[in-house]
C-alpha cells in the first residue's frame, strides 16, 4: 500500500508522517527533512535517517554548487547517500517513510531510483508529496490531502486504513 500525504506548506504533513511511523508497530526505513533555522529564519533543510538518526544537509542557502530550487541549493551527494541507504533497507523493513517527494529530491537520479523501488515494493510506503506532483502520483497510491485543522482526524483514518490492509 502506498499513501501520499499532500497539502500546503505548514499543513502538518511531516508531523503527521512522523506520528504515524511512531505509532505503528512495524519496522520502517526512510528519512525526514526537517527545516534548518537560524535566527528564526529558514536556512534550508536537513535530511535525517529515521533508523539511525544520522543527519545531513538536503538543501541550504549556504551551498554554492548543486541544482537550485527557490533560494536553496540541493546537496546531491548527501541526498545520494541517504537514498542509497533507504534503497538497501527496503527489503528488510515492513514500512518506508519518505519526507518529501518534491522538486529538490527529484533532482537526484538516486532518489528517483529509490522511490521507484519503494513504490513497487510490497512494503507500506508513506510519503509526503508536494502538491505540484499530485497528478503524477495519483495512479501510484492513495493521495490524502492534509490541512492543519484536519490532521488529527486524518491520522486515525490513515491508521485504520493501514491496519485493515495489513
Domain locations in the chain?
2-165
pLDDT, position 166: 66
Residues of the chain with pLDDT under 70: 166
* CA distance linking residue 7 with residue 164, whole number of Å: 24
Continuous H helices in 58-150: 76-89, 109-120, 134-137
pLDDT, position 88: 94
Asked whether the beta carbons of 32 and 17 are under 8 A apart, the reply is: yes
* CA distance linking residue 100 with residue 60, whole number of Å: 16
The CATH-assigned architecture of domain 2-165 is 3-Layer(aba) Sandwich (3.40)
pLDDT, position 149: 84
pLDDT, position 50: 93
Rg, the chain, Cα only: 15
* CA distance linking residue 84 with residue 101, whole number of Å: 16
18: number of Cβ within 10 Å: 16
Amino acid at each position: 500500500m502506498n499513501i501520499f500525504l499532500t497539502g500546503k506548506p505548514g499543513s502538518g504533513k511531516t508531523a503527521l508522517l512522523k506520528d504515524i511511523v511512531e505509532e505503528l508497530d512495524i519496522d520502517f526505513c526512510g528519512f525526514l527533512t526537517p527545516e534548518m533555522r537560524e535566527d528564526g529564519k529558514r536556512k534550508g533543510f536537513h535530511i535525517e535517517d529515521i533508523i539511525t538518526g544520522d543527519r545531513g544537509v538536503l538543501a541550504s542557502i549556504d551551498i554554492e554548487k548543486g541544482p537550485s530550487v527557490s533560494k536553496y541549493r540541493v546537496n546531491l551527494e548527501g541526498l545520494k547517500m541517504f537514498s542509497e541507504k533507504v534503497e538497501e533497507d527496503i527489503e528488510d523493513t515492513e514500512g518506508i517513510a519518505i519526507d518529501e517527494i518534491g522538486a529538490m529530491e527529484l533532482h537526484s537520479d538516486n532518489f528517483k531510483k529509490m522511490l521507484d523501488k519503494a513504490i513497487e515494493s510490497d512494503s507500506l510506503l508513506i510519503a509526503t508529496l508536494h502538491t505540484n506532483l499530485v497528478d503524477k502520483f495519483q495512479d501510484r497510491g492513495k493521495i490524502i490531502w492534509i490541512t492543519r485543522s484536519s490532521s488529527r482526524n486524518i491520522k486515525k483514518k490513515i491508521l485504520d486504513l493501514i491496519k485493515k490492509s495489513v
